[in-house]
Each structure stands twice: as structure tokens, then as C-alpha cells.
Amino acid sequence: MERFQHYIDGGFHDGGESFESIDPATGAAWAVMPAATEDDVNRAVDAADRAFAAPEWAGLTATARGRLLWKLADLVAANAERLARLETRDTGKILRETMGQTAYAAEYYRYYAGLADKIEGAHLPVDKPDMQVWTRREPIGVVAAIVPWNSQLFLSSVKIAPALAAGCTVVLKASEDGPAPMLEFARLVDEAGIPPGVVNIVTGFGAACGQTLTAHPKVARVAFTGGPETARHVVRNTAENLAHVTLELGGKSPVVVFDDVDPDNVANAVMAGIFGGAGQSCVAGSRLLVHADMKDRLLDVLKERAEKIVIGAPDAEATQIGPLATRAQLDRIEEVVAKSLEQGARLVTGGARPEGLEAEWYYQPTILDCSDPATASVRTELFGPVLSVLTFRTEEEAVRLANDTPYGLAAGVFTNRLARAHRVVAAIRAGVVWVNTYRTISPIVPFGGFGRSGLGREAGAEAMLDYTRPKAVWMNT
């Protein structure tokens, strides 16, 4: 079995404890991972705290920090296949997707490399002739970054890159489910010549490792991606030290399809929105809201295409859907689908595990026609390949249904009528709205949720400022 280690203070170490990681494609253990104890986490935070003030890091110019980030981006790009294969092995996400996300991670490092020396203070023209006043933007301190198991390499880049660009230091806790790509990424941090302690990477279980990290008095900023329940723990943990927190949480994103579009064109975006990553994506377009006159035509196309999706080993070229990442995921999906059928949902396609595959953790692309918005699959974030369908007759009804969720991460709107698109975009409560497309992202564009989908934004230039704090300087001249 392969063995992985933590990266703390520029060195590789076994954790105080360890656990076996399961390959979701086979259900068998394939690697031994370190599990951070309280001591390991404390060592990592202490290292980050020392590195924050050390001349090797604090003494670098912003341009020099940018160069280091650019080097890291080059290394991520050069090692993309190795990183992607590890992510595929450890999470079951198909190779085409992990390759794509690794390329994105490199882009995010490049974007923030370019922004490092564009963090500017301001001169403030106060109404006092004998005073000069200006602001300095200073790095906030030690950042605790916590990521979930889906897309760890990518989700961590959105935290590590702006934090380093701003001059912070980082302790990243990789998810206990599928940490291999992050522990391998640590080698690239080392190779890039980033000074010891500036980036520390550990993994371990939420209760022990995540709790200690987010409650640590030396942590100034927590950047968390995960589920809403864990987010509440994180907020409680940070309350004692009043650490700054951003939360990227779940979603139940609506895809609204009006009756003026061609169902053939829309179907691919709807399918990619829900079945990409086997639905294990925070922005999965899991609620299809379709105009009643368009429903049958669109469902016919979706059913036909869903049934042609190739389910199989995540590293096989032809595979379009791989296994779910964990057994718990499968159990939850089966339970909610069964409950939805009991509540009166109609099964359009899927609804079962496919036969003839090596492991049990696969689930068919599933479409449920739900006439009742209270159906379990309409309300619950499933994090699986399950599309719940509702219909509407008017624009007002479409908006009401779209907003009928405590979440507000993303939404899709499909219409060819310009004025309608503008009205619906304005009325939908979500942090990202895609019009006539779905799930496109860029490092330049802010990302984050409304309501229970989160707090704060990642990506874009503004998000980097969250890793700084302004210091106002008054000088009597």
C-alpha cells in the first residue's frame, strides 16, 4: 500500500495516528494516510505562526511572493496527471474531470501570482491640513483552510493562492476522504521553494483535527468549504478568538427552462449540471424547473441521453460517471430517492445501482418527476446524480420555485428572451446565475452563496482582500 505523510514546517512527517484510504472504484484500501492529532495540528499552526513573521517570508516583496506562486502554478501544471490520477484513485472522480480541475487549480495560482503586487493602500484626503492619512493593506495572519472531499486540489487553490499572494501563511486540512492529491501537492510546495512553515498540509478527522485547527487562538482567518452542519461548528469554534470566517457551503441549485428554447440544446447543459462529478458538486443543478409546455419534450431528450451515459471505472477513457466517493453517500442517496418515490415522485429513469461493476458505490443517473415541491429529493442536498423535476406556468411561479430553498449558491436560466433573462437574473437569490450555460468558472469571477450556501466570496481580486486587513495611519506633519 502507498503511504502518505503530513507536511509541517517544511518537512514530511507521519501523523500521530493513521488510517486506510479506500479506492471507491474497488471498495478496497489502497493507501495509508496520516491522521493529525491535536499535537500535529498545534505543531502546524505554530510553524505557520513563526513563518508569518520570519524574514524568509515576511521580508519578501509582493512581487517575489507572486513569483513563488507562479512557480507553484508551473509545478501543478507539470504534475497535473500525477495529481489528477491520485485524486481519481482516492475519490472515484473520473480522470477527465480531475485533469480539468487540476488545470483550473494551476490557473488560480497564476491569477493570484499576478495579483500579489497589486494590493494597494490609499491616501485619504482628510479635512485636516496638518495631517497625512493613508492605509496599508497588511496580511491577516495564519489562515486555516478546510476543504471537503470533492475537488480538494481545486477548492484548496482558491484559498491557498490568495492567502499567499496577500502574505499570509496557511495550515490546510485536507478531507479525510481522499486526501492523497493534497499530500502529494505538498511536495510541489516544497519544490517551489516556498519557505518552511508558510504552507502546512495535514489531514485527519473533523472532530479531532478540524476542531483543534479552527479553535486555535493563533488562527486569524478560517476559509471553510463543506456542509452547513459542519459550518455551524466552525463558526462556534472561531467565536472564542473572533477569527474572520468565510464559508462555502452546499446548494440545491435550480435550472429554470422556459418554453422558448430548443430542448436539444438545453439538454446537454442540464445533464452536465447534474451528472458531472456524479452530482457530487456544490453547484449541481439538482432542481430542474421547466415550463409545463416544454416538460415532456425535455424529459424525453434527458431520459434518452441519461440512459446512454457510460458508467464505469473512473480512470477508463470512455467513462462518463464513476463511483460515488463514499458508502455513506450511496446510502443517503438511496434513502432519499426511496422516500421521494413513496411521496409520489415518478421515476423517469435510473433509481438503482448499475449491475456488473466491481464495487457497489455506483449509482445510475436518475431523474425524478416530482409534482410536489415538498418532495424529499427537491428539498435535500443529495450530492449525487439525481435530478428532481418541477413544472411552472408563469415567470413569477418559476422565480418563486427557484427561490423556494434555504440555499442560494447557483442557478441556471434558459431563455432566448432578453428582457425575461434580465428580470429572472435579478429576482433569483443565488451567488452565481448562469444564463444559457451552466457551471462555467474563472479565477477572475467571485464565487459564493446567498443564505445557507455561505458567507463571503472566493475567487476574484476582492476575495484576496479578505486575507488582508487595512491599517489606517495618521501622521501629524
Beta strands in 97-248 (DSSP E): 123-124, 131-139, 142-146, 169-174, 199-203, 219-225, 244-248
For residue 243, the one-letter residue type is: A
Look-up of cell digits 445533464: 271
Residues 88-147 that bind ligand NAD (CB under 6 A): 146-147
Residues 195-214 that bind ligand NAD (CB under 6 A): 206-207, 210-211, 214
- Residue 91 or residue 364: which is nearer to ligand NAD going by CB? 91
100, 121, 195, 227: which one binds ligand NAD (CB under 6 A): 227
d(CA 325, CA 277): 10
- Residue 198 or residue 245: which is nearer to ligand NAD going by CB? 245
Give the strands of the sheet with 142-146, arranged side by side.
11-13, 6-8, 199-203, 169-174, 142-146, 219-225, 244-248, 454-455
7, 383, 450, 467: which one binds ligand NAD (CB under 6 A): 383
d(CA 474, CA 123): 10
Question: Taking the complex as a whole, how short is the minimal distance between the CB of residue 246 and ligand NAD, in angstroms?
Answer: 10
d(CA 276, CA 477): 61
149 lies in the binding site for ligand NAD (CB under 6 A): yes
31 Rama class: left (phi>0) / alpha (psi -120 to 50) / beta? beta
- φ, ψ of residue 463 in degrees (nearest 5): -60, -30
226, 263, 351, 408: which one binds ligand NAD (CB under 6 A): 226
For residue 426, the one-letter residue type is: A
Q: Of 24-32, 108-116, 128-136, 246-254, which part binds ligand NAD (CB under 6 A)?
A: 246-254
Catalytic residue list: 248
Residues 311-340 that bind ligand NAD (CB under 6 A): none
234, 266, 309, 387: which one binds ligand NAD (CB under 6 A): 234
Residue 334's contacts (CB-CB under 8 Å, 6 or more residues apart) are 363
- 3-state SS assignment for residue 28: strand
For residue 436, the one-letter residue type is: N
- CA atoms 198, 199, 202, 208: torsion sign: positive
431 lies in the binding site for ligand NAD (CB under 6 A): no
279 Rama class: left (phi>0) / alpha (psi -120 to 50) / beta? left
Angle at 469 between CA 467 and CA 472, to 5 degrees: 160
For the window 252-291, what string marks contact with ligand NAD as x by the rule CB under 6 A?
------------------------------x---------
With CB under 6 A as the rule, give the number of residues binding ligand NAD: 29
Question: Taking the complex as a whole, how short is the minimal distance between the CB of residue 203 and ligand NAD, in angstroms?
Answer: 8
175, 364, 366, 375: which one binds ligand NAD (CB under 6 A): 175
Q: Of 91-99, 225-233, 261-269, 392-400, which part binds ligand NAD (CB under 6 A)?
A: 225-233
176 lies in the binding site for ligand NAD (CB under 6 A): yes
Residues that bind ligand NAD (CB under 6 A): 146-150, 155, 173, 175-176, 206-207, 210-211, 214, 225-227, 230, 233-234, 248-251, 282, 381, 383, 409, 454
